[in-house]
Amino acid sequence: MAFTLETGSLAPEFRLPATDGKEYSLQDFSDAAWLVVFFTCNHCPYVLGSDEITRETAEKYESQGVRFVGINSNSENTYPEDDFEHMVKRMEEKRFPWIYLRDENQDVARDYGALRTPHFYVFDRDRKLVYTGRGVDSPRDARRITENTLDMVLDALTKGHSSPLQATNPIGCNVKWDGKDAHWMPADACDLV
C-alpha cells in the first residue's frame, strides 16, 4: 500500500481541536461540495511564502461550495513554534479563511500520508480524493509562481469537469515527525509522480 492516500480513496476520518476553541470532524464539513484538506504549519518557509496565495484561492472558491481545512501535524518537540499556542496566535494575526486543526499525535498525517508542508488533498462531495499534491509550483517565492495548480484543479471541478491532474509532488518542508530527525521521512514515503 502506498504511504500517501491515492486518488479515488475516501477521506480518512478525524476529530481534532481547532484554533477557534472547537473540535471538528470530517462530518462537520458535509455541506461542502468540495473539501480541500491541507497539511500546513506555522514556520515552514514554503507555507509562509504561499499562504496568501492559498488564501486567495480559498476565498475565490468559497461561494462555489469549496471549504478549506488546514491541519498542523508537525511535532512541537522538533519545532516549538508549531505548537497549538503559536497556531492560535497565527490565526489571530492572519485571520485565514480556513479552520486550522492540531494533529498532535500525528495520526491524521499518517492516515492521509502527508509528505510535506504544504500538501493539498481535494475531495469531492462523496469525499473521494480527486487530487493530491502541490498548491503552486513555487510556494517559497510567490513572485516566481508560473502555475497555481490548486486553482487550476478547483476551476475545472467547480465548472463540472474532471480534475486536469490527479497528483503532483508537493513542494515544501517534510512533515516534522515526533522523535525523528527534522529531515526524516517514513521509509514508504515516495514521490507521487
pLDDT tens per residue across span 59-80: 999 999 999 999 999 999 999 9
- Omega before 139 cis (within 30°)? no
**pLDDT at residue 1 above 70?**
no
CATH number of the domain that residue 89 is part of: 3.40.30.10
Instruction: Give domain status of residue 119, yes or no.
Output: yes
Kindly report the CA angle at 106 between 50 and 57, in degrees rounded to 5?
A: 25
User: What is the pLDDT confidence band of residue 143, given thresholds at 50, 70 and 90?
Assistant: very high
**pLDDT at residue 99 above 80?**
yes
Instruction: Give domain status of residue 129, yes or no.
Output: yes
Instruction: Give domain status of residue 105, yes or no.
Output: yes
Instruction: Give domain status of residue 57, yes or no.
Output: yes
Instruction: Give domain status of residue 45, yes or no.
Output: yes
Going by C-beta distance under 8 Å and a sequence separation of 6 or more, which residues neighbour residue 159?
Answer: none
Instruction: Give domain status of residue 186, yes or no.
Output: no
Give the total number of structural domains in the chain. Answer: 1
CA distances from 124 to 4, 135, 138, 139, 147 (A): 18, 17, 26, 24, 22
Instruction: Give domain status of residue 190, yes or no.
Output: no
- pTM to 2 decimals? 0.97
* Domain extent for 142: 9-174
Instruction: Give domain status of residue 193, yes or no.
Output: no
